[in-house]
Structure 1
């Protein structure tokens, strides 16, 4: 079936190619065509995933609000099913998805690289990623859809790359994957600049000049496709932010240091548990672990409330736009540990949005501790950027994302300062980010490389 479809598509593409006359225009158009198609498909799937994610998140809130004790049934069951889907059908669909895409980019150009990439980015991964994360969310899981959207988008770009026939002008697979990741983030958050910066800072680590046209095109098309259905929106909104002067500067600096440390702590705990889990060799042990995490999560939510569930977007918006909104003493630690418990359960789900929401609750806790309500929104925004930077070691991506989410260009310098201080603290605490360390685990995995060659891929 797959071969018949590919043969039919190849014949159409051959006809399309033969009809073009101008050689330069032909080469540019033919090289760009796979990027255009991939971006449209990625944008459409991002819209579907976003709407489904939002609906399921609201459904869980309704269930948990009406019958709080149901969490003890729904959470363990959802956590187990989410893990089982990944374990049974696509083990590389677990977790965020960003490390898988970065590993795929590093595999590109290597011997057996395409086969290794296919294990990380394929149609099965797309399906399992969506179904597993939605199942986890139904149980209240503290996850985001942004990391999964990035892997899904990368898988779409890789799948279409594999359909490109031999007679087609050569297309760089690495560039396709980088563009896929950027398009995915841009469509997920409605942050085109964030997608481009993420591609340069986290995915490509190369000169923009080498990939600018196709990268920009992918981000624009995926973003516009998403906006066509979701409209032009801000992920968070436009909160009021005070000017950064006098004592505000001191508070921003201290908050950035403090929040970056907790971002480092968050990622360190995650990494230690993920690596410790490798001692669970048998399926029954892994299943029991997923159920145990579901019960632990249910207990946490039962005593702390719905602020510990889902992506945390509602928490962020409430804190930034409701002057009277404030966190309880337990809100920050409960969101912090709820995200850890959910992630290590073994299902699919991201930590981008949860990191921002944890940062927001930490920022509000700092405001309450220091009794500085006049700087509330500034401290919350600072903490969001710094916490995320502490996890990802991607300061530019962190502050650009928050800048585009809030449209507060007048506060760009305070955001940049927060990111700069946060990355300085993060680098002192650990030279490698959470994603970098997970990527090394993938590159050295027996699933991809023979044991005798394990250490050759990581320099």
Structure 2
């Protein structure tokens, strides 16, 4: 028969173990450190892209030399010293959590050394004007800091390496987007599938604490400000549905294209990339530079300023510019540069919403842009809850909760008909490569992976 909890007995049990409280303090101290690393990464990224912007203003044609050369240098350094830092960073954390990966090989994907490398290489990518973001890399950055805490915990601690990786990865999202709630949902939906009861309270506290570090530095402000949404009636149903379906199809195609490119699917271009990676990177950097010059700089960098301009109503991203941003982001990732796709995906989604709003009229611009952002991000990542909460917190769009949720859910459903989840595909490929398996990686029964348990390696 269950008896009621005894408060004094439970309090004595909690206070009797000094080592337990020391372990908790260590984890929370590392959460603060993870938040500080992400804040430093954010400030360095802003300065690097500011440097590139000044170069673009002063010597625009010089970018045809600057961007390819720096792209090749970044890929050379990554391949030579830090192969685990290539790409977004989210697949690395997911692969490190994969039950098939031997624990001793996690350091090749997530470590303090890779954290420092990721920051430096991604900042260099923004200095080159490449179409990358810092939000995905922040997941690997913070996870690399948090996993380092394990060496200081007691052997009997219930806080294992997997819990620290989840806490770190989610803390990276919370600090990067200034959105602690998004970090918690990301931990559940993308990284872990569920949280162990015995450690969930401490993990969530660590995530929120890292987010609060970012809030204390940048202020409690929405990333893209506050959108002004007019009264939305039935007349908005058609444009909203058009944005959602277009975002779902475009996001699914983007995800499929990225997975085929980054997992070495058979093809002449992938063969050329494998044989001449530096030449491929230089050509890719040249293509990104040409696209950026053709679009007047609209496709350079993460694209956050373009989104702010569209939401404020004093800047447009044409359908052609949106398509070219799509190509520039894919090309940058294909080169093997460390950098994320979250921010570029939000820009592409905003461009889709802006294009539909110009046809629909009626003052629906901000609402359709926000729906496009949530829809395209959800379609690319196939994590609709994380996508809609990120956008809601970034634009302070609480008045659009149902619209954003519906857009993210439907776009993700459409994407699933076209492509497997991108990060899951890349993580499975990393695990198969790491363990030297030529066959698909099959997760053991009861594992915490989302979606299909068999991951094909193209």
Q: TM-score, normalised by structure 2?
A: 0.89
Q: 2:63 aligns with which of 64, 68, 71?
A: 71
Structure 2 equivalent of residue 4 of structure 1: none
Structure 2 equivalent of residue 264 of structure 1: 252
Q: 1:219 aligns with which of 207, 212, 220?
A: 207
- SS in structure 1 opposite 2:162? helix
Q: Distance in 2 between matches of 1:233 and 1:186?
A: 13
Q: Distance in 1 between matches of 2:173 and 2:198?
A: 20
Structure 1 equivalent of residue 424 of structure 2: 436
Q: 2:435 aligns with which of 430, 439, 449?
A: 449
1:281 offset after TM fit, Å? 7.7
Structure 1 equivalent of residue 346 of structure 2: 356
Q: 2:25 aligns with which of 33, 37, 46?
A: 33
Structure 2 equivalent of residue 234 of structure 1: 222
Structure 2 equivalent of residue 336 of structure 1: 326
Is the 2:432–2:438 Cα contact (8 Å) retained in structure 1?
no
Change (3 A) 1:28 1:80: same
Structure 1 equivalent of residue 449 of structure 2: none
Q: TM-score, normalised by structure 1?
A: 0.89
1:358 offset after TM fit, Å? 0.7
Is the 1:34–1:161 Cα contact (8 Å) retained in structure 2?
no
Q: Distance in 1 between matches of 2:255 and 2:214?
A: 31
Q: Distance in 1 between matches of 2:83 and 2:204?
A: 32
Is the 2:306–2:315 Cα contact (8 Å) retained in structure 1?
no
Q: Distance in 2 between matches of 1:318 and 1:453?
A: 47
Q: Distance in 1 between matches of 2:273 and 2:372?
A: 39
Is 1:301 paired with 2:292?
Answer: yes
Structure 2 equivalent of residue 62 of structure 1: 54
- SS in structure 2 opposite 1:325? coil
Change (3 A) 1:246 1:81: same
Unaligned runs of 5+ in 2: 1-11, 444-452
Is the 1:81–1:132 Cα contact (8 Å) retained in structure 2?
no
User: Higher helix proportion, which one?
Assistant: 1
Structure 2 equivalent of residue 320 of structure 1: 311
Structure 1 equivalent of residue 78 of structure 2: 86
Q: Distance in 2 between matches of 1:131 and 1:286?
A: 20
Structure 2 equivalent of residue 43 of structure 1: 35
Is the 2:428–2:441 Cα contact (8 Å) retained in structure 1?
no
Q: Distance in 1 between matches of 2:377 and 2:301?
A: 17
Q: 1:402 aligns with which of 378, 383, 391?
A: 391
Change (3 A) 1:24 1:387: farther
Structure 2 equivalent of residue 16 of structure 1: none
Superposed CA RMSD in Å reads 2.1
Instruction: Note the 1:102-117 alignment, pairs <5 A.
Output: 102-107=94-99, 113-117=102-106
Is the 2:23–2:154 Cα contact (8 Å) retained in structure 1?
no
Q: Distance in 1 between matches of 2:287 and 2:147?
A: 38
Is 1:161 paired with 2:150?
Answer: yes
Q: Distance in 1 between matches of 2:280 and 2:403?
A: 42
Change (3 A) 1:356 1:104: same
Unaligned runs of 5+ in 1: 1-19
Q: 1:287 aligns with which of 270, 278, 286?
A: 278
Q: Distance in 2 between matches of 1:175 and 1:91?
A: 24
Is 1:136 paired with 2:125?
Answer: yes
Q: 1:310 aligns with which of 297, 301, 305?
A: 301
Q: Distance in 2 between matches of 1:63 and 1:281?
A: 29
Query: CA offsets, 1:74-129, max 9 Å, x none?
Result: 1101111111121011101000000000111114xx6x732111111112211221
Query: CA offsets, 1:37-77, max 9 Å, x none?
Result: 22011011111110010111111111112221011011101
Instruction: Note the 1:417-436 alignment, pairs <5 A.
Output: 417-430=406-419, 432-436=420-424
